[in-house]
Structure 1
Amino acid sequence: MTTHTISVLAGDGIGLEVMPVAIEVLDAATRDAGVRLDWRVQDWGSDYYRAHGTMMPADAIETMAATDAIFLGAVGHPDVSDVETLWGMLIPIRRAFDQYVNLRPVRSFAGVRSSLAGDPEIDVVIVRENVEGEYSAVGGRSYQGTPHEAAYQQSLFTRHGIERIATYAVEVASGRRKHLVSATKSNGIIHTMPFWDEVVAEVVDRAGDIELESVLIDALAARAVRSPQSLDVIVASNLFGDILSDLVAGAVGSIGIAPSANLNPAGEHPSMFEPVHGSAPDIAGRGIANPVGQIWAGAMMLRHLGHPQIADQIEAAFTAVVERGEVTPDLGGTLSTREVGAAVIAELAAQRSRATGA
């Protein structure tokens, strides 16, 4: 029996609803596979902030460091500033554990209508740099409260940071169509983006068998809408990757489907897995949030932990459920969050029966 200890941060809003459903699915998938998931549930998030003045306790990083992975639901509350939720929880975790890869797969599902004309088939992986770039803490404000008030924000791009994210993107592209698109804005951002272009090109040249296309971010955003089927793997800086991944995820029909992984590829620190959607306060408490993004993030976690076969089974199960139309209202269905989870568990059982001939 292999045991993995998982830090669970359900967080806020619909995170509190999709997390228990995803845990039930992952437990069902691993129950007879020689894998045990030891869930360590933490009550950190916006409610914790309102009670204690911080999103997490002072020893939170140390606590999570003793576990194998982090499973996150959603963070955000209308009564708490996004600055507090992001810089008090997500960014400290990503940076303390050097989770420099943000991996976001997006694909279409049969029977789920795209929001784009022509209902194109979409299968894209976005590899986003996750710990530097535009989301730097370097900067400040001056002359506050006067007509001359100003804010300064310093982007931070290092050769080390660009090389390693480009190298990871090349590895992903090598296992797919060997075509890599690099998001840039070197015609307008005079220092950091030409540097990004140069280093990415050097990494791709060393790989030898990857076709590189460097595309300006505005043209790439338009292309993601007009011909997403022309895209396979995208490598992007922190800001550009953040925007593109939400754009492409929304195009497949619902952002509630999409997962993401915050990876420390070498395994020196725990990686974190989460759905792309936020806390969705407008539907929180109604029991209709789509749990597929959280379930898919769980499958990504199991693959990272060394269980690709179980991950494949989970992905096949929720794909079958979604394509049968057993979905929540965001995809045009009538099922609740828990009913979708139950359908995925039933499909997992049906897969086993078919595999054994029972």
Structure 2
Amino acid sequence: MTTYKIAVIAGDGIGKEVMAEALRVMEVLQQYDADFKLQLEEFPWSSDYYLEHGEIMPKDGLDQLKKFDAILFGAIGDARVPDEVTIWELIMPIRKQFKQYVNFRPVKSLKGIGSPLKNGKDIDFVIFRENAEGEYSNSGGRMFEGQADEMAVQNTIMTRKGIENITRAAAQYAVAHGKQKVTSATKSNAVIHTLKLWDEHVKQVLAEEFPDLQLESNYIDALVAYFVERPQSFEVVVASNLFGDILSDLGSSLVGGLGLSPSANINPEKDYPSMFEPVHGSAPDIAGRGIANPIAQIWSAALMLSHLGRPDLAEKIVLAIEHVLLDGEVRTKDIGGSASTTEMGDAIIEKINAQMSL
């Protein structure tokens, strides 16, 4: 039997509600596979924890997480706590210190879900977002605060190693999945230092290590238009931290919304645990009402299983989600229905049970 140690951080708002459904799905899968065992440990790190303890994660929090094979994360964010606390004292330390330099986001039109686009069928590509440096680097500062000549500087940091790492990860995925093309997001005509470095090393890695892959390089302003005009033309997209963040949310909207969209923060070398979380936030406006869509959280758990070496179980989860959506009887409010979070979880579990019984 293989036992995987999983750290669970449900976080704030609807994070707690959707996490409960993902954990129920994990429990069901374990009942059918004697070789699959999850050892879960839940951590209460959240805005409530911060308000009680004065810190959102203990000083040895990262040391506690190091012993796990993966982290399953819910959502974070609360009006009572500044965003720079919830983001820069919890999410960012995990991503950066654990070298989770790959943010992986599938953009896939699920059967049974419509798209706002007339040409929104058969969209199926992935985005590899550089996740450890770039525009989201904690480098800069402010001067003369409150004065007429107040100023702020925010530095973008890009390194050759960082660019090569994310490009290589995207290309390796493309080769492993039979893709022909990698699309790079850039704006090097205007951002002439960091993004020229980006262009040079994306091109070099593909030319030297993956000569059979085609490179398509687009300026970001044109690329967002192409996402809408010809989304089926993309296979693997590689982008910097900020560009990847924007493109990922646009991609989610093209295929049904943030409530359906999973993500993974991956350390490909597995020297540290990777973290899996839905794209959506804590949604305080609907928290506690039991109406949040748990699909993104459940699908994020499927990405975790695939990363841990069980793509067979991940596939069963995605198939179950699609079968529920195709049936159309159980849908949460965000996708046109009135089902509760738990009812959606029940429906997905029912489809998993049906698959396992075949």
Q: 2:337 matched to 1:348?
A: no
Q: Which residue of 1 aligns with 2:317?
A: 314
Report how far residue 118 of structure 1 moved: 3.7
Report how far residue 264 of structure 1 moved: 0.5
State the distance in 1 between where 2:28 and 2:121 align.
33
Q: Which residue of 2 aligns with 1:217?
A: 220
Given that residues 262 and 299 in structure 2 are in contact (C-alpha distance below 8 angstroms), is that contact kept between their aligned partners in structure 1? Answer: yes
- Find the residue that maps to 2:272 and give its secondary structure: coil
Q: Which residue of 2 aligns with 1:132?
A: 133
Q: Which residue of 1 aligns with 2:205?
A: 203
State the distance in 2 between where 1:192 and 1:30 align.
47
State the distance in 2 between where 1:118 and 1:167 align.
31
State the distance in 1 between where 2:230 and 2:86 align.
35
Given that residues 32 and 356 in structure 2 are in contact (C-alpha distance below 8 angstroms), is that contact kept between their aligned partners in structure 1? Answer: no
- The one-letter code matched in structure 1 to 2:26 is L
Q: Which runs of 5+ in 2 are unaligned?
A: none
Given that residues 203 and 215 in structure 2 are in contact (C-alpha distance below 8 angstroms), is that contact kept between their aligned partners in structure 1? Answer: yes
Q: 2:109 matched to 1:102?
A: no
Q: Which residue of 2 aligns with 1:8?
A: 8
Report how far residue 80 of structure 1 moved: 1.5
Q: Which residue of 1 aligns with 2:47?
A: 46
Report how far residue 261 of structure 1 moved: 0.5
State the distance in 2 between where 1:30 and 1:315 align.
16
- Find the residue that maps to 2:32 and give its secondary structure: coil
- Find the residue that maps to 2:113 and give its secondary structure: coil
- The one-letter code matched in structure 1 to 2:331 is V
Q: Which residue of 1 aligns with 2:30?
A: 30
Runs (4+) of structure 1 moved beyond 3 Å?
Answer: 117-120
Q: Deviations over 1:282-313 (max 9, x none)?
A: 11111111111001110111111111111111
Q: Which residue of 2 aligns with 1:180?
A: 182
Among 274, 290, 293, which residue is 2:293 paired with?
290
| Number of aligned residue pairs | 354
- The one-letter code matched in structure 1 to 2:193 is H
Q: Which residue of 1 aligns with 2:20?
A: 20
Equivalent residue runs for 1:330-345 within 5 Å: 330-345=334-349
Q: Deviations over 1:196-216 (max 9, x none)?
A: 000000011021110000000
Given that residues 329 and 335 in structure 1 are in contact (C-alpha distance below 8 angstroms), is that contact kept between their aligned partners in structure 2? Answer: yes
Report how far residue 110 of structure 1 moved: 2.3
- The one-letter code matched in structure 1 to 2:205 is V
Q: Which residue of 2 aligns with 1:73?
A: 74
TM-score, reference length from structure 1: 0.97
Equivalent residue runs for 1:188-267 within 5 Å: 188-206=190-208, 207-267=210-270
Report how far residue 121 of structure 1 moved: 2.7
Report how far residue 30 of structure 1 moved: 2.4
State the distance in 1 between where 2:322 and 2:91 align.
29
State the distance in 2 between where 1:176 and 1:322 align.
27
Q: Percent identity at matched positions?
A: 51
- Find the residue that maps to 1:165 and give its secondary structure: helix
Given that residues 106 and 125 in structure 2 are in contact (C-alpha distance below 8 angstroms), is that contact kept between their aligned partners in structure 1? Answer: yes
- Find the residue that maps to 1:241 and give its secondary structure: helix
Two-structure CA RMSD over aligned residues (Å):
1.0
Given that residues 29 and 314 in structure 1 are in contact (C-alpha distance below 8 angstroms), is that contact kept between their aligned partners in structure 2? Answer: no
State the distance in 2 between where 1:283 and 1:200 align.
42
- The one-letter code matched in structure 2 to 1:105 is P
